[in-house]
Amino acid sequence: MFSRIFHLALALAAAAPYPSKAESLLPLGGDVPEVLSPLSVQGIRGNVNLELHQQYTIGDPAVKQKTLVEIYKYTSTGSALVKRDTPTPSPPPPNPRAWMPIDLTPAKCTSQVCYSGSYGGPEKTDCDVIVAAQMYNSTGSLVAPAGHYVLVSYGSCTVIFQHPMGKPKYNQVLQYNWAKLGSIILDLQKKCLKPDDQSIGGACKIARYGQYKFHNVVISLQRYIAPATPPTPNQGV
């Protein structure tokens, strides 16, 4: 039994993405390097506990290239079954402060990494369309409560802002300026889209800002994989 578990652990380790030589993990402030765990597009769409909640485009309406925004949110559909006649627990009293968005825009990456792979990364020209839509043709900010994943895609390029569910103390509502998101992606492009180094994308993790700490809040630049069947937003709230 131990041998089987050991070999399984080796297989999982071999399959995990690894930092490229283009840019190594960059902890800030002398901290221990933190593991970045960005979900892939397939990992988000294939998760039974995530559903497409909202879908729209951003950017200049006069421009032919349309940048698609998809927002996936966590649902409890994958939770364990409850026994019949079990009384429904009363919801906790509302906490107004928990729903006041924290503006994460001024926060810096606490760690950053580029990923290598044998397959091709996103096309720079496609990522440029996303950056232009975010930096020059969009106003306001994205809002991501805990359990939300924001995908911004064009052509072969996808940008993901992930804010997964965690312990209650990590489940804040986050706000992030579109233009700042574009600047982060522009920086990841310069550092991580380097064919000579087999670098195919990268990620920025924001683990803390001021008095707040966050659970696996990551901005990642990845290759977009189109689904066989385009998803449609759930009409529920």
Task: With respect to residue 163, please indicate whether it lies within any of the assigned structural domains.
Answer: yes
pLDDT at site 218: 96
Averaged pLDDT for residues 31-41: 62
Q: Say whether pLDDT at 26 is over 60.
A: no
Task: With respect to residue 116, please indicate whether it lies within any of the assigned structural domains.
Answer: yes
- Stronger pLDDT, 121 or 23, i.e. the higher one: 121
Q: Say whether pLDDT at 24 is over 90.
A: no
pLDDT at site 89: 44
Structural domains counted in the chain: 1
In 3D space, the residue among 222, 223, 224, 220 whose CA is nearest the CA of residue 111 turns out to be 220
Q: Rounded to an integer, what distance in angstroms lies between the CA atom of residue 184 and that of residue 204? A: 8
Q: Say whether pLDDT at 225 is over 80.
A: no
Q: Rounded to an integer, what distance in angstroms lies between the CA atom of residue 160 and that of residue 219? A: 6
Task: With respect to residue 34, please indicate whether it lies within any of the assigned structural domains.
Answer: yes
Domain that residue 194 falls in? 16-74+98-223
H or E segment at 134?
helix 124-135
- Residue 107: exposed, middle, or buried by beta-carbon count in 10 A (0-12, 13-18, 19+)? buried
Task: With respect to residue 67, please indicate whether it lies within any of the assigned structural domains.
Answer: yes
The set of residues, in sequence order, having a beta carbon less than 8 Å from that of 26 and lying 6+ positions away, is 109, 111, 112, 113
Averaged pLDDT for residues 10-36: 39
Q: Rounded to an integer, what distance in angstroms lies between the CA atom of residue 222 and that of residue 204? A: 12
Asked if residue 143 lies in contact with residue 174, where contact means CB atoms within 8 angstroms, the answer is: yes
Q: Rounded to an integer, what distance in angstroms lies between the CA atom of residue 20 and that of residue 102? A: 32
- Residue 17: exposed, middle, or buried by beta-carbon count in 10 A (0-12, 13-18, 19+)? middle
Task: With respect to residue 82, please indicate whether it lies within any of the assigned structural domains.
Answer: no
Q: Rounded to an integer, what distance in angstroms lies between the CA atom of residue 77 and that of residue 119? A: 34
Q: What is the DSSP-derived secondary structure letter of residue 93?
A: P
Q: Say whether pLDDT at 87 is over 50.
A: no
Task: With respect to residue 211, please indicate whether it lies within any of the assigned structural domains.
Answer: yes
- Give first-to-last CA distance, the chain, whole Å: 46
Residues of the chain with pLDDT > 90, as a percent, come to 45
Asked if residue 215 lies in contact with residue 164, where contact means CB atoms within 8 angstroms, the answer is: yes
Task: With respect to residue 175, please indicate whether it lies within any of the assigned structural domains.
Answer: yes
With cut-offs at 50, 70 and 90, classify the pLDDT of residue 84.
Answer: very low
Tell me the pLDDT of the chain averaged across its residues: 77
Inter-helix orientation angle 178-192/124-135, to 10°: 160
Residues of the chain with pLDDT > 70, as a percent, come to 70
Asked if residue 53 lies in contact with residue 234, where contact means CB atoms within 8 angstroms, the answer is: yes
pLDDT tens, position by position, 170-190: 889 999 999 999 999 999 999
Asked if residue 72 lies in contact with residue 165, where contact means CB atoms within 8 angstroms, the answer is: no
Task: With respect to residue 47, please indicate whether it lies within any of the assigned structural domains.
Answer: yes
Averaged pLDDT for residues 107-121: 86
